[in-house]
Amino acid sequence: MSRHHEFLQGLRDMLPMLLGAMPFGIIYGSLAGAAGLTPWQTIGMSLLVFAGSAQFIAISLLGGGATLAVLWLTTLVVNLRHALYSASLQPFVRHLPKRWRVPLAFWLTDEAFAVVQHRYAETDASPNKHWYFLGAALAMYVNWQACTLIGLVFGQAVPNIGDWGLDFAMLATFIGIVVPMLRNRPQVAAALVAGAVALVCHALPYKLGLMAAACAGIVVGVVLGAFGLGGVLYAFNAGRLVARLGEMKNVDTFFFYGHRLGVGEGFEVRIRPLSEPFTGDKLADARRVNAEVEALIREAPEQYLWSYNRFKHPAGAELPPTVPVSEAD
């Protein structure tokens, strides 16, 4: 598609997200004025910060007399999720010059990320997808400034606008962003764990609960995505079994593997003793077994083969190169 077409398509695809952000922006403009910010300060924050959640936290902390250090740290923690967004999109925009990447990074929001990453996931070879990114990002930026101005001008005329529950529109928007992206069990598990941790840690200061929730969700998603629930339980139970056998029989434990020397040259059996004794703690011993196995794998990672059929060819991975029969013999 042409640049013009990509730009307009990005703008059109962002329209549903704009509707959800409108009440949020209007409420911010109203509350900022009520919190003592001047009109120029209110508009300037939207122009230069352009982060709804951080702006709401900022006016709340400023109203409570927080220091600048606390203000900066809190908003930094809240906005750290954008580092993950940027890392996800970096492979698609790294070829662009800095004059493109810097403004696109500044205009990147939750809503823009949801729309843009879907466009980059499409398989067409359009070289102008960054124009789609620009259209979607600018649409949200202009919308946020307009809503801030509306809230600033008319918010004082509407009593208690912050108690109307209009901010639910943004919550509904985020649900609409997240749910369609949950396409497999690890992603669903990550979302559920993150939500549960966010609720449990809600009372932590400086919004640290959000970071705890994000970290918990990332760990669960990565672990289940790499091994699957069955693989995690299998590895844990296998580690416990080795440790229990060693304790019951009062014997030394050794780890070994066959190191392939080359085509037609056979194998060399390499044996390694347990580096540290088992403690009797089931979890610690399972971790010890996993660590010993990982150490052996690092000696020759190119020869590592997981024999459990479920993991021989993970979904979406490329098949290994085939070896001609003459070479295999």
Half-sphere exposure of 315 (CA within 13 A, CB side): 4
The pLDDT profile of the chain, 329 residues, written as one tens digit per residue, is: 788 899 999 999 998 888 878 888 888 888 887 778 888 989 999 999 888 888 888 887 777 777 788 788 778 877 877 888 888 888 898 899 999 999 999 999 888 888 898 888 888 888 899 999 999 999 999 999 999 998 888 766 666 665 666 656 666 666 776 777 777 777 888 888 888 988 888 887 766 777 788 788 888 877 776 655 555 545 555 555 566 666 655 667 777 777 788 777 777 888 888 777 777 777 787 788 888 888 888 888 877 766 555 555 656 667 666 655 454 44
Q: Is 272 helix (H, G, I), strand (E, B) or coil?
A: strand
Q: What is the pLDDT of residue 34?
A: 74
**Separation between Cα atoms, residue 44 and residue 57, nearest integer Å:** 16
**Separation between Cα atoms, residue 130 and residue 126, nearest integer Å:** 10
Instruction: Name the residue with tokens 């083969």.
Output: 305
Give the tokens for residue 169: 């529109």
**Separation between Cα atoms, residue 86 and residue 104, nearest integer Å:** 10
Instruction: Name the residue with tokens 């990565």.
Output: 222
CB 17 within 8 A of CB 173: yes
Q: What is the pLDDT of residue 329?
A: 44
Q: Is 121 helix (H, G, I), strand (E, B) or coil?
A: helix
CB 268 within 8 A of CB 258: yes
Give the single-character DSSP code of 36: T
H-run or E-run covering 189: helix 185-200
Instruction: Name the residue with tokens 């600048």.
Output: 68
Name the β-bridge partners of 260: 267
Q: What is the pLDDT of residue 11?
A: 92
Write the DSSP string, 152-166: HHHGGGSTTGGGS-T
**Separation between Cα atoms, residue 25 and residue 166, nearest integer Å:** 10
> Does the pTM exceed 0.95?
no
**Separation between Cα atoms, residue 24 and residue 109, nearest integer Å:** 14
Q: What is the pLDDT of residue 328?
A: 43
